[in-house]
Amino acid sequence: MPAVILPRTGTPGYGRSVTSPETPELDQLLTTAAGAADPAGGFGYLDEHGRRTPGKVPETWIGARMTHVFGLAAAWGRPGAAELAEHGRRALTGLLHDDEHGGWGSDAHATGPKQAYVHAFVVLAGATLSRVGRPGGTELLHDALAVWDEHFWDDDAGAAVEEWDAAWTTCADYRGANANMHGVEAHLAAADALAALGDHDRAAQLRQRCVRTAERVVGEARARDWRLPEHFDATWTAQPEYNRDAPADPFRPYGVTVGHQFEWARLVAHLGTVVELPADLAEAPGALYRVAVERGESPDGHPGFVYTLDWDDRPVVPARMHWVMAEALAAAAVLGALTGDPRYGADHERWSALVELLVRDPRTGNWHHELMPDGQLGHTTWTGQPDAYHVAQALLLPRLPVTSSVAESVVRAVGQAVPRGTA
């Protein structure tokens, strides 16, 4: 497919400006997701029947993602969404926050290390709440960005470090593309929120960070014929054999992660709507998307995308993860809108039919989080249906103008009047 030519303004997608971008599928998903709200605070873990798992401690990354999703839904006036977004915000500023050391632990017990992955989603939640005008959103955004600036952003590397111990005393040597990818997503959303508040200098700074991080990670993929490495050491030297003995890890799998090829393709495309991309980065959305389809779709003869490939493009973990399909659909929607190339639309139509046939759970509206190649439910990496973030965005993006963040796109689509102020 050709390189993506990226316009500098919001571009109508498959959809159009609408009063509400909600669809029956999204309505059912959000209804199920609302059941994750834990009366004690935060959002719990939904099982395969869409029921909150009793006794499981609310996790910060799930809580932040759900807060982001319900913040988006509040922007178009979905009943109950504003209350659920506030429920999430209160947990992020209270139950899930580490008041002793600052920042956010992995769950409501503030256990485990301080991770860039988790903090990226807290930034995203704050950015979305701020952009859609929810009370307290801007304060959460500033607090989360302050932690990111102090502990995670490495300006010399142009990317984020991965992980600290709970007290911020020791930084791990590992560097990861996954956390940096979500850092780019969060920074794009934060820049949109801050620009809406009038802080254009800070917004420009955050967007340039995104350029630097994308150049580093995507540059590594370009050097390997667009096979994107996920794991690095402290000097940002790729570690291609990392986790070979634990290939199905949910956050650090061995090899090439097909879904991240789609996700990086989409995020670089979003970035290109607000900055002038270097020529080598401008070609990345089309190239990453193309190889994800050519190498990752049905390499074993079964429908759908495998989770991971080795460095010779052979399947490693053949399970079909829901989020990989969601990111494929999201990338097709965004790149199709930006390029006008009908092949993206054809992909989107084909994969949407597969979702209805195999992936979408009619009982919950969520998608089966893991399927085996033969279509049977899998549990190797994921159990249950704990998260609505990937699916919600995949359902929203085809109906929204393309901008640099989902929150910005929702606001423009529904014509939301967002209070302005000083950042």
Indicate which residues carry an active-site annotation. 260, 390
pLDDT of residue 415: 86
Top-level class of domain 24-414: mainly alpha
pLDDT tens figures, 142-164: 999 999 999 999 999 999 999 99
Q: What is the 3-state secondary structure (H, E, C) of the chain?
A: CCCCCCCCCCECCCCCCCCCCCCHHHHHHHHHHHCCECCCCCECCECCCCCECCCCCCEHHHHHHHHHHHHHHHHCCCCCHHHHHHHHHHHHHCCCECCCCCCECCECCCCCCEEHHHHHHHHHHHHHHHHCCCCCHHHHHHHHHHHHHHHHEECCCCEECCEECCCCCCECCCEEHHHHHHHHHHHHHHHHHHHHCCCHHHHHHHHHHHHHHHHHHHHHHHCCCCCCCCEECCCCCECCCCCCCCCCCCCCCCCEEHHHHHHHHHHHHHHCCCCCCCHHHHCHHHHHHHHHHHHHECCCCCCCECCEECCCCCECCCCEEHHHHHHHHHHHHHHHHHHCCHHHHHHHHHHHHHHHHHHECCCCCCECCEECCCCCECCCCCCCCCCCHHHHHHHHHHHCCECCCHHHHHHHHHCCCCCCCCC
pTM: 0.95
Domain-wise residue ranges, the chain:
24-414
Low-confidence residues in the chain, pLDDT < 50? 1-16, 417-423
